[in-house]
Structure 1
C-alpha cells in the first residue's frame, strides 16, 4: 500500500509529487503529464501569467521555468509571454528530474476502503494507498451555457476541447465569452482564415495593461507591488498569502473567488482581436438550435432587444465551475461524503484535506477556500508544500517530524514503478 497516490500530472500534481518524494513518501503518480497543456490548447497560444510566476514547485527551487528556458536559449523575460508548447515541454522536463516515474494510465474510480483508498486504473489494475491527492486540473469542470446544452459536439464545443483549430479554417465560428480563452481562440481562428465573431454579455471587452517594468522606483513598487496575479496589494495578497485568505469569512472567500480577476484579455492579443474579429457585445444567448448553416442562435441585448444569427459552429469559452458532483472518478459513496461550500465546491481544511480523512484536493477545486491563486500555476508551490505537510500529519509523521522511510525505488529519478501485481 502506497503512502500517497497522486491523481493527475499537471502543474499541481507534479509539484505535489516532487515535494512528496523529497519528504520520503512512498508514492505513485498517475495521469498523462501536462495533458491539458499538450492536448487541449492550440499551438500558437501563450501563457497569460508572467514567466517568473509560472514555475512548478520543487523543494529546492532548482527547476524553475526560467532555468529551463535559459538552458535552451528561449526568452523568459518579464512582460514577454511564453508559448504554451514551451511551458508544456518545461513540465515534462520537470517531471523527469523531480518526480518518480509517472504512470500515464488514467484513474477511473477512487473508493474509500479500511485503512485508506482503492483506485482503479483504466486497464483494470487496482492500487491501494493510505492517502490520495486529487490534482485533476480543470477538465472535469467544463462549464457550458444551458442554452447550448441540447446540441452535440459537432455544433458546440468548449474552448478547452481543442488542441488544433485547423478544422475550422474557412468556416464561420462564433466564440462565446470575453476572457483570455475566448479572445485568444478568436484571434487564432481569424488568423487562419476563419470568419470569427466574439459574442459576450459584457458591453465592452476588458484588457489587461502592459505590466510595468520590473525595476521601478521604490515608491511605485510600494504603491502597486508585482505579484504572480498582477500588480497591486490586493493581487499580492491573493498570490502570496493563500493561508491568510483561508481565514476570511466563508461568504467573503466565495464572493472574491467568483469575482476577482474577472474576464479580460492580455494586452498582447488586443490588436489581433479588435478589427480582425467581429464583436457582438452586450448580448446573451437565450436559445440555440441546429440549422442548415450549423447553429441558429437567438440572443437578447442588455436593452432587451433580440437578435438571431447563423453560424457554423459555436465555441464556448465559458470557463470552469469546480463542483463536487463533477468529480466523477470518485465513487458515489465517497463523493456524497464530501462536505461542500455554498458554491458547490468541496470544503477543504488548512492542509487541503477534504472532509473525508486522507483525501486531499488541489488546484481549481480549492479556490473558494485558498483564493484566486489556485486558478493559476502560481498556487502550485503553496499547495504542494502545505498538502504534503498535511499528508505527513495524516500518516503520523507530525507537522515537523522526521522523514518517513520509503523504498529506494520511490526516489530514483526517472524510474517507473512496476505495473503488474495489485498493491
Structure 2
C-alpha cells in the first residue's frame, strides 16, 4: 500500500512526484514522461511562456530549465522562445534527476475502496494507494466544435493530435481557431508547402507584444511587473497568487477562467502568418459534411469552404465527465463548479477525500496559471501538503461513493 499514486508524468505530475519524494512519502508514478510534449507537438514549435516561467518544480530548485540548458551548451534567455524539443528534453532530464523511477505503463482505471484507492494498469496489474494525484494534462479534454464531431478522424483532427505535420505536405488544410495553437500550426503548414487557411470567429487576431527587457527602470516594473503569465498586475495576481485567487467568489472565478488570457498569437509567430497564411475573420463553421476529396464546411461570412482536412485548434474543456479513467461511481460522485469541472479545495483535494487533481482541470478553482507550466510550482507544494494532511486524518467511510449516485460525495473537505 503506497501513500500516494501519481498518475501522469508531465510537468505537473513530475513536479508533484519530486515534492512527494522529498517529503518522505512512499509513492508510485505512472505515465510516459513528457508524453504530450514529445508525441503531440510538431517539430518547429516553441513554448509561448518565457524560459524563466517554464520550470518544473523540485523543493530545492536545483533542476531548473536554465540549468538544463547550460548542460546543453546553450542559455535560457528572457525574450527568446524555447523549442518544444528542448523543453521535452528538459522534462526527461528532470525526471531522471528529481523524481523516483517512473513506470511508463498507462493507468486505465482508478476506483475508490474503503480506506484506499485501487488503480489498474494497461496490463492488468492492480496498485493500491491511500491517496491519488491525478495529473493527466490536457489530452483527455480536447474540444472539437459540434459541427465537426461527426466526421471521421481522417478528415477532422484536433491540433493536439499531431506530432508530425508531414502528412499534410502539398495538401489543402483549414485550421479552425484564432489562438497560438491555430496560428503556429498554420505557420508550420505553410512553411512546409501546405496550402492552408485559418478560420476564426473573432473580427481580428490578437497578438502578444514583445516582452519588455528583464532589467528595466524601477518605475516601469512598478507599473507593469513581469509575471509567469505576462506583464501587468492582473497577470501577476493570476500567476503568483493562485491561493488568493481561489478565495474570489465563484462567479468571479468562472468569469475570469472563461475570459482571461484569451486567444492570441505570440509575437514571434506574427511575421510567419501575416502575408503567408490566408486568414478568414468573423467566420464560424455551422455545418460540415464529407465530400469527394475532403470536407465541405458551411461557414458564416463566406458561405462555403472546401478543404481536404480540418484541424481544430479549438482548445480544451476540462469537465468531470471527461475523466474517463476514473471508475463511474467515483467520477460521478465528484462535486462540480459552474463550468462542469471538478470542485477542488484549498490544497487541490477533490470533493472525494484523498483524490487530488492537478493542472488544467483545476483552472476554475485556482485560475489561469493552471493552464501553464508555471502553475506546477504552486500546485506541487500545496498538493503534497494536502496529501500529508489527508494521510494524517485518513479516508472516512462516508467518502466511498455509492454506485449510480451522481454528485453524492460532498463532505470532508481538505
Higher RCO structure (Cα 8 Å, ≥6 apart): 1
In structure 2, what is the equivalent of residue 209 of structure 1? 209
Q: Structure 2 CA distance, aligned partners of 1:283 and 1:193? A: 24
| The one of 390, 394, 397 aligned to 1:394 | 390
Aligned 1:163-182 pairs, distance under 5 A: 163-182=163-182
In structure 2, what is the equivalent of residue 364 of structure 1? 360
In structure 2, what is the equivalent of residue 407 of structure 1? none
In structure 2, what is the equivalent of residue 145 of structure 1? 145
Task: Report whether the alignment pairs 1:382 with 2:378.
Answer: yes
Task: Report whether the alignment pairs 1:50 with 2:19.
Answer: no
In structure 1, what is the equivalent of residue 219 of structure 2? 219
In structure 1, what is the equivalent of residue 408 of structure 2? none
In structure 1, what is the equivalent of residue 299 of structure 2? 299
Q: Structure 2 CA distance, aligned partners of 1:119 and 1:313? A: 38
Give the aligned CA root-mean-square deviation in angstroms. Answer: 0.9
Q: Structure 2 CA distance, aligned partners of 1:293 and 1:279? A: 22
Q: Deviation of residue 74 (structure 1)?
A: 2.0
In structure 2, what is the equivalent of residue 184 of structure 1? 184
In structure 2, what is the equivalent of residue 282 of structure 1? 282
Task: Report whether the alignment pairs 1:72 with 2:72.
Answer: yes
TM-score by length of 2: 0.94
Q: Deviation of residue 397 (structure 1)?
A: 8.0
In structure 2, what is the equivalent of residue 419 of structure 1? none
Count of residues in correspondence between the two structures: 394
Q: Structure 2 CA distance, aligned partners of 1:131 and 1:194? A: 48
Q: Deviation of residue 75 (structure 1)?
A: 2.7
In structure 2, what is the equivalent of residue 36 of structure 1? 36
| The one of 308, 314, 322 aligned to 1:312 | 308
In structure 2, what is the equivalent of residue 404 of structure 1? none
> Contact conserved, 1:7 with 1:135, CA < 8 A, in 2?
yes
Q: Structure 2 CA distance, aligned partners of 1:7 and 1:337? A: 19
Q: Deviation of residue 352 (structure 1)?
A: 0.2
| Structure 1 residue matching 2:315: 3-state secondary structure | coil
Q: Which runs of 5+ in 1 are unaligned?
A: 399-423
> After TM superposition, where is structure 1 displaced by more than 3 Å over at least 4 residues in a row?
none
| Structure 1 residue matching 2:298: 3-state secondary structure | strand
Q: Structure 1 CA distance, aligned partners of 2:156 and 2:38? A: 22
> Contact conserved, 1:293 with 1:310, CA < 8 A, in 2?
no
User: 1:237-279: CA deviations, max 9, x gaps?
Assistant: 0000000000000010011011000000000000100111011
In structure 2, what is the equivalent of residue 413 of structure 1? none
TM-score by length of 1: 0.92
Q: Deviation of residue 95 (structure 1)?
A: 0.3
Q: Deviation of residue 293 (structure 1)?
A: 2.7
Aligned 1:8-157 pairs, distance under 5 A: 8-157=8-157
